[in-house]
Structure 1
Amino acid sequence: MRHHLTFLCEGATLAATLDAAPGTSGLLILSGGNEIRSGAHRGMAMLAARVAAAGHPVFRFDRRGIGDSEGDNGGFKSSAPDINAAIAAFRETAPQLVRVVAFGNCDAASALLLHQPLSLDALILANPWSYESGPDSDNQTDTPALPPAAAIRARYLARLKDPKSLVRLLKGDVNFGKLARGLAALGRRKSAATPDSLPARLDHAIATLPCPATILLATGDRTAQAFVANCQPADVPTERIDSRSHSFAGADAEWLATRILTML
């Protein structure tokens, strides 16, 4: 059964949803970017229903300044109080819980790493965000971040082998501005990460994690590609799906749910 509730975080009232179930191992879902707790195309709401039907309670929430929650939106880098308050509210509303596993996609995965230690028993980190400007950053331009050079090369090579790409080029259906940006990126050298850069901080967090973690990557997603290029998640189990879906939409939802249920 699904319940809608609220809880407090530093004086702000935050909105949450509990999919109740009798299990003692529960799932805390963090939405990425500025997505509300239902997720892209209701993906997180459907995931919660699936996991609860398998017997595990699921807690989702809107962080401050997002969706139905009060307060100012400070982005994922300032979400530690929101996460801690959500963990406490989850345990209070599902008192049978012995174990809480957290799942985050994109910058929600990065937040789970950056804000350690948290009162969690395991982490599921999907397509972690490793760009310096976040998907909800004031510094982000309207032009999306490019994937790493290796991914650009692989994509261009695949297109050169596809006759349809040549037809699109001859018809003028190619975005030449985007093409120029991609070709320019191939010639750039990757700069060394400074100790206070986001990739370096993520690497440190992964190396010092106080609980088990699993990384999930959609190999065709540019955020996942950038994470592979920017970070070195040594000794952390990593599972991959051949997909370009950042939010594990469509058939990918079954793959995601299966891995989450395995962790639970």
Structure 2
Amino acid sequence: MKRLHLSFECREDRCAATLDSAPGTTGLLMVSGGNEIRAGAFNGQSRLAAEIAAAGFPVFRFDRRGIGDSEGTNRGFRKSTKDIAAALLAFRAIAPQLQRVVGFGNCDAASALMLGAGAECDALVLSNPWTIEDTESDAPPPAAIRSRYAEKLKDPREVARLVSGRVDLKKLAGGMVRAMKPKSAPSSLAEDMRAGLDAFTGPVRFLLAEDDRTAQVFAERWDAEDTRIARCRGANHTYSSAEARGWLRDRLLEALRR
């Protein structure tokens, strides 16, 4: 396995990309979330790409227009479908043995793949999809607050703190009020994502980090009975712990080996 740095064209702009080469006929297209560069948060995508390639699957990462080393204007995740499609074409050109490509995105990168009906990938792994409108708060949804309090009440140390008066009662009362609110209202973004995904015919897997607010909001706005959802207990948004990173890698390898 070796790492190659290259560029490709998207419309009139040149975009920077990285290929972690491997002989496999199934590859992973990594889409960065937010305004992150292709290395990911704390170089996480770079490390993950190396591990996936070491298992025999080529991995392609890129900076969309206006981000990192790429030219052009940053148009945001809602208008990044052309960037993803151009990256996929470049991936297939640089790794001509590919017969199948799995698209992977975390946060609004997952949302972008859904809005673009898969952006011509063959399968999707969608992690912690972003469904929060620009005008909304990203506070944890009521169900997440209720779950957190339920977990605390199972902990004898937390109960001891409560009865000993070491808990801020004003803060506790505020949390209880938020916990009693109804389920989060649907968002037009979530509905657009649902419509886009409905047009995709390949296999889909959702990955949710249970301690992540973005994942918690998505879970409230999506079908709770969706059998495509897998949850990583105790994981944060970027799967920063060693256990969570291993869980994420294993889920991606499962998708690639199908």
Would the TM-score normalized by the shorter structure come out above 0.5?
Answer: yes
Give the 5 Å matches for 1:82-231. 82-116=83-117, 118-133=119-134, 145-160=138-153, 161=155, 163=157, 166=161, 182-190=175-183, 192-193=185-186, 197-231=188-222
Instruction: Return the letter of the residue paired with 2:204.
Output: A
Q: Which stretches in structure 2 are left out of the alignment for 5+ residues?
A: none
Root mean square deviation of aligned Cα: 2.5
Q: Could you tell which deviates more after superposition, 46-55 or 150-159? A: 150-159
Q: How many residues align?
A: 251
Instruction: Return the letter of the residue paired with 2:144.
Output: A
Instruction: Return the letter of the residue paired with 1:31.
Output: S
Instruction: Return the letter of the residue paired with 1:255.
Output: W
Q: Is the 8 A contact 1:203 1:232 kept in 2?
A: no
Aligned to 2:252: 260
Superposed displacement of residue 120, structure 1: 1.1
Instruction: Return the letter of the residue paired with 1:159.
Output: K
Separation of aligned partners in 2, 1:108 and 1:159: 33
Deviations 1:5-48 (A, max 9, x none): 11111211111100011111110001111111111111110110
What's the TM-score, normalizing by structure 2?
A: 0.87
What's the TM-score, normalizing by structure 1?
A: 0.85
Q: Could you tell which deviates more after superposition, 197-206 or 74-83? A: 197-206
Separation of aligned partners in 2, 1:218 and 1:48: 20
Q: Which stretches in structure 1 are left out of the alignment for 5+ residues?
A: 134-138
Deviations 1:73-96 (A, max 9, x none): 121101011001100111111111
